[in-house]
Each structure stands twice: as structure tokens, then as C-alpha cells.
Amino acid sequence: MVRSLDVADQRRLVTALLQIDGMRVRSTRDLCITVLERGLGRGLELIRHEQDMHDVWQLVDACLTCPGGLHMLVDALWNFYGDSLSVRAARAVVDELLPEPLLDPAERRELYQLVHALEAQGLNAVYFGDLPGLYRNAVGPLGPLGPAQGGNVWGIRDFVAYLEEVPLGTDGVPPLLTFVTDLTAYAKGPVADALDAWTARAAARFGVERARLRRPGALPAGRGTGAAERDAYLVIECRPDGADFDRFLVTAWLQFAGEPGIMLRCDEEPLPLGRLPALVESLLVEDHRVTGREVPDLTIEFVLPRALVDRPFDQFQVSVAGLPRRLGIEYPVVLRSLDRLRHRALHHNWRRKWERLRDDPEHASVHVIGRPGEYGDERLFTLLSDHTTAGLALAFPPGAGDPGAAEPGAADELWVGLQAGVPVVVWCRDGRGPDGFDRDARALLDSGDLLSLPRRVRDLRRAAVLSDEPDEHLGLHLALIFDDADRVPEPYVRLEPPT
């Protein structure tokens, strides 16, 4: 992390340092730099100048890139010159302009050594893509933005240096300790043990209980060793372009449960929907962050406006190494409501129902509707607002009873369900007889809890391909909205309260 001072403050600091006799002598400055680099455990990147003021100015710039660098410089000067008035004045300026570093030099050196050992264990590109998620988990949703330079993620050491400058959260826990706790899940063997021991000692020094270091979205311990795996999601959002209703702005993230997404692309030029299958294929086949993920299972989520939810996204053809197949045959493919994400007023009902479903999936119920217009809007909203109702099943596509219902804000069964907070909606895209759909839908819904529905719908699509009449099988005509309120795609507001 590079801290900066404005010109006036830096001039004050340089002037105060130059009041110390030794700082006006080049050879003494060289000795101070040697002592400082030994204490930091790293070399300083600085350009030397013949003029004393310019040389000290560059030294201050270099120290600002190192947590505690200027404090260590003043400590070195104190060792050489004692508690003189000039050293005391320089220390006062440093204390005024820069906060005391979180770690002492020995703690910092040990942590940097452990970070180097961790990186030497052969971590792949997906791991480095996870660093922003670990940072965001440490500082919380309202914390400062993490380090980035030219759109590229820096290494662990830079995140550590940045986090040492981040103030304590409202819970009194240093974000750096949370970051290192989560980082330990990536380590193996003695490095993992050493990181854990370092965290325990640091937590004890700061008076923080170890149990408080892992936030709700933290990684499970042992991820680095394969002892635990997270669910992986490829999230693809299509936002309507205001100038052309046939084109959409596409954003894609790779996301792991409990973490913010790793952005894969964010188009500024709207694309026609016909180019989306090729884009999805390129993400699955060519993007190293997706192909190199450590989690084998992947769910694909399309975040869509209501005008697109009835398109057969699960039927997109993708080709991997020359073998074409339908997207929904290999992966669980689900839809998410862009309109509900955009309407914050709808988030409360959504979260309430999702939490009930997540905590007690076996007792969640699904309301089945066989014909469009079977219920009035207010009556249906009341029925779906029952606390046990987490799902809605339609024997017909959304808006079947009203061609204008695809517009945001227009009422149809789907929109009423989203307003009521229902996180799970299934329907048949081509419309089925209500009796046949009721039978098939109940067989699907009764075969397991709702949380496993994405994978069971994928299995139903596979069963359709293996059937004698695949085109008639419900599996190839079934659409599923599965809205996880614990994972809100960027850049929408996360629903959990700040930690």
C-alpha cells in the first residue's frame, strides 16, 4: 500500500528530519537506510539524490510504502542520537501525521515470511482471484476499497500491508486478523499450522477471542487442502440497453458461496441476445479463472429482466473440445430476477422467505397454479405471503394471461410471487395441461427439499435426453428461478447487515 501526504505535510516532516544532525550527512543516511531495511525485512525502492532535501524527500516517499516505515526510521534515529530535542520533534510530527502501525516489526517480518511460504506452495490463478473476496470479508461491506492497480490483483503481501492501515471495525476486531484467519484455509501442512499460531498470538495481544475472527461469509477451514469445498457459481447478468430493447449489457462474475463475486467481464457496449451462447462458452472454456477453479461443481445463473425469463437459456449449445451439448445437461442452470434485485423494497420479503427456506427446507411448501388468472393479484399475494410458502409452480409461462405482463411493474403470477418474496419459481415454457403439469411438478418437488432443486432439475433435463421422446419430456421445457438471498451479485446491495 502506498500512503501519501500532501506537499505541505511532507515538507514539515522532511524539515523536521533534517534538523537531526546525522540526516544532513549522506553516509549517516546510508546507515539509517541499512538499519531500516533490516528491520523491515525488505529493500527500499528509492532514487538517491545529491541534495540533502531531495534525498530525504525520496526516503520519506519510500517509507510511506511500508507499514510502520517512518516510525521505524525515527526509532533508528533515536538509537543513534538518543532522546534529543530534534529526534523528539521528528517523532511528534510522525505521530501526528501517521497512525501507529498495527504490528510490531517482529510480527510483521514473521507474517511476511509465512506469506512467502504460502505463495511458494504453488497456488493457482483462482486463488489469487479470491484475494479481493478475502479482503472484503475482512473489512465488511462498508469498509474501504481494497488494493488494485491497473485492474490487476496484487499479491498477498500488498493486501497485508493495506489491511494493517485499515482501522478497526465496529466489532473491535482488526480486519488484518480476519484476513489471515481466512488465508490459513488455503495453506497446507506446517505453513497452515504456523499461520494459525501467528493469528493466535496476535489475537491474544489485541485481546480478541479467536471465535470472533471468522465472519459469516468466511471460507471453511481446510479449503486449501481439499478438506472442504465451496459451491461455485458463474453469474451472468443481462441488463436492458435503454437505447435498443433488443440489446443487453452483459456482466459476468465467478462467485463462491459467502463471498463477493470475482468480475470476469463488464461490457460497456450492448450485445444482441444471439451472441450470449458464444459468450457463455468462452467463459466456460477459455477464462482461466473458471477453468482453473478448485471446485468442480458449477451452477450457472442468469440474472434477467422479466422480458427474458421465458427464453430457454438451459438449451444453449456449448462445445468443449469439439463435443457439443446443451448447457443445462452439464450444469444446473437457474434464473434470477434482475427486477427484484433492483427493487430494494422487495428485499425484505425475499430475505424473510429465503432464511426460512434455508433453515427449514424440509417443511417449505410450493403453491401450484394450473391456469393463468386463477387468482386475483391480492388474493395470490396473500396466499404466497404465508410463512411456509417458499415456492411457486406454474403450468404456463409468465405473462400467459396478459401479453403486457412482461413489462416491469405489470402484475402476473410471477411478479406477484416475486413481490411476496418467493425465492423459487418453476414453470413450463410451452404450457402444459394443468392436470399433467400438477402431476409432474409434484413428483419433482416431492423428491427432495427445495434447496436441492437446481441439481434435481438438471437431472430431469438429463432424463429427458435419455427418454424415448425427449422433445415431449418436461425436463427440456422447465424453467427455474432460484434466488439465493445470501448471495447478491455485484454491484447490488448485499442483504446481510454490516458486521
DSSP state, residue 149: B
> How does pLDDT run across 422-478, given as a tens digit for each residue?
999 999 998 777 778 888 888 888 878 899 999 999 999 999 999 998 888 989 999
Pairing assessment for the beta strands 232-241 and 244-256 based on DSSP bridges: antiparallel
What is the model's pLDDT at position 33? 86
pLDDT, mean of residues 215-241: 62
Residue 294: per-residue pLDDT: 77
Mean pLDDT score, 188-195 = 84
CATH number of this structure's domain 232-334 = 3.30.420
pTM of the predicted model as reported, rounded to 2 decimal places: 0.58
pLDDT at 409: 52
Q: Look at residue 154 and tell me whether its pLDDT is greater than 70.
A: no
Q: For 223, phi and psi rounded to 5 degrees?
A: -60, -40
**CB-based contacts of 58-66 (< 8 A; 24+ apart in sequence):** 59/29, 59/33, 60/5, 60/10, 60/13, 60/14, 60/17, 63/36, 64/2, 64/3, 64/4, 64/5, 65/1, 65/2, 65/3, 66/40, 66/42, 66/161
pLDDT given at position 477: 92
pLDDT reading at 125 higher than 70: no
How big, in percent rounded to 5, are the helix, strand and coil portions of the chain? 50, 15, 35
What ranges in 98-168 are assigned the alpha helix state H? 105-119, 125-139, 156-164
Q: Please tell me the distance from the alpha carbon of residue 460 to that of residue 472, in angstroms, as a whole number.
A: 13
Tell me what pLDDT residue 104 has: 77
**The residue type at 150:** G
85-to-24, 59, 77, 289 alpha-carbon distances in Å = 16, 21, 12, 56
User: Is the pLDDT score of 165 beyond 80?
Assistant: no
Cis peptide before 491 (omega within 30 of 0): yes
Handedness of CA 270, 476, 257, 232 (dihedral sign): negative
Q: Tens of pLDDT along 295-330? A: 889 999 999 999 999 999 999 999 988 899 999 999
Percent of the chain whose predicted confidence (pLDDT) is above 90: 33
- Give strand pairing partners of 253: 235, 263
Mean pLDDT of 128-135: 71
Which amino acid, 250? V
Contact 347, 316 (CB under 8 A): no
The string of pLDDT tens digits covering residues 336-363 is 999 999 998 999 999 999 999 988 888 8
Residue-wise pLDDT for 235-261, tens only, equals: 999 999 877 778 999 999 898 876 667
Mean pLDDT of 470-496: 80
Q: Where are the beta strands (DSSP E) in 354-497?
A: 365-369, 389-394, 424-428, 478-482
